[in-house]
Amino acid sequence: MAEFVKKTALGGYKPVAGGPRDTECTHVILTLGEYDGLKREISSAQQAAKNAEYNADKKIHQIQSEAQSRITDAEKKIAKNTAEWEKKLAAEQQESALQRELNANLLRITKERANAERGLKPKKEHNGYVVLTSVEKESRYKDSFGHPRTITLWETAMETPYTVDFEAEQVRSLLQELFQEDEDERWPICRIGITGNYPGKYADMIQDKEWREDYEKYNVMLERWLRANYRRGYWELVFLHTKPLSVVPPDMRAGRG
């Protein structure tokens, strides 16, 4: 059995009465068997700690390997799905481009037929729009203080190249071509003197900070609406603008193709 002792001045050892809690205890004397047993316990504990560390590392590596495997599988699936979607997208883009080309060809043919029917020349190059009427129109509005004001605007009606067989929203969308710049960076509508485009009311424009200082420099197209002329068989674009038209070219005057 272990003895709890203190070292004496003469180099020997003397048992202490209080055991391991005695403040004078400095050494523990073990039998050889106790010493060997303690060594075995320490060695066993050290081995258990190593085994636990090894098993923990093994588990971590296993988890990392499984996670990486799942990531790799997910990446492969994503890559496969991406490739499939890219293939579908490319096919749809090709189909869309083909459809746009077909639509453009159909619209070109439609315009040419409409131009030929109305005697507009040259039928292949004419944009298909002709001015029907342009008249002064008194318009009332309220200024930024809410005071009533009066302004003289102009109301112009143009025949479009689109027959009443087109739906209104189709025509409304197609009318954007009037503001598409040509090779000279000019809009087709500029040929009759329209140089600005504000799709709203006059009162809104003069209060718009981006327009109120510069609008007088331009002949601005404002409100616009569609009118179906079933007698003629064509849609008409009617719009208000801030200044009179310039001299309308002969080929854009109704009945002067």
pLDDT digits (tens, 9 = 90+) for 77-111: 988 888 888 888 877 777 666 566 657 788 888 88
Residue 8 confidence (pLDDT): 80
Average pLDDT over residues 135-148: 91
Domain(s) labelled CATH 3.30.200 in the chain stretch across 130-252
Q: Is residue 58 over pLDDT 80?
A: yes
Would you identify the CATH topology of the domain 130-252?
Phosphorylase Kinase; domain 1 (3.30.200)
Q: Does the global pTM surpass 0.85?
A: no
> Across all residues in the chain, what is the average pLDDT?
88
Phi/psi at 225 (5° precision) = -150, 165
d(CA 170, CA 188): 19
Sheet containing strand 130-142, strands side by side? 130-142, 148-163, 234-241, 220-229, 196-197
**160 φ, ψ to 5°?**
-90, 170
Q: How far apart are CA 146 and CA 32, in angstroms?
A: 111
